[in-house]
Amino acid sequence: MSKWLLALVLCLSVVQAKEVPFTLEDRDRLIRMEAELKALSKSVDTRFEEVNRKIDMLFNFLWIITGIFTTITVATIGFAIWDRRTTLKPFEDRIKDLDKRLEKGEDMDKKFLDALRTLAQRDKELTELLKKYNML
């Protein structure tokens, strides 16, 4: 059996491999494939350009939304500050008015104490009462 195997290997090694010639049909097939690849490449490039354009549109839209949100926020804060000032203005005016009245009232209190002290010089009970409350 090994003799037959050896003979078969020798026969196969004697047969030389013949090169397959590159035919015109093969060349035409390669040209068609190159043309299809170029068309596919153009199609892919076009698609990528469309996607990039849509992404740019989305970014522009996001900038618009951000601008609108910022404007609304600033307007709301401005309104709150304006409203606070207009709401507090009457109270501030009233407090200023009360301060003026108190200043006048302090003068009245001083005058009243002076009158009591003068009266206390004549009335001993009143003198004792004012001394008790440290008003004399």
Taking only the tens place, the pLDDT of each residue in 70-119 is 999 999 999 999 998 888 888 888 888 878 877 776 666 777 888 888 88
Residue 70 within a domain:
yes
Cα(105)–Cα(111) distance, rounded to whole angstroms? 10
The answer to the question of residue 84 being in a domain is yes
Give the max Cα distance, the chain: 162
Per-residue pLDDT band for 16 (boundaries 50, 70, 90) equals low
Mean of pLDDT values over 17-31: 80
Is 101 within a domain? yes
- Spatial separation of the C-alpha atoms in residues 27 and 40, rounded to whole Å: 20
Instruction: Measure the CA–CA gap between 97 and 108, rounded to whole angstroms.
Output: 17
> Could you tell me the pTM of the whole model?
0.45
Domain range holding 112? 24-132
| pLDDT (tens digit per residue) in 43-57 | 999 999 999 999 999
Mean pLDDT of the chain: 85
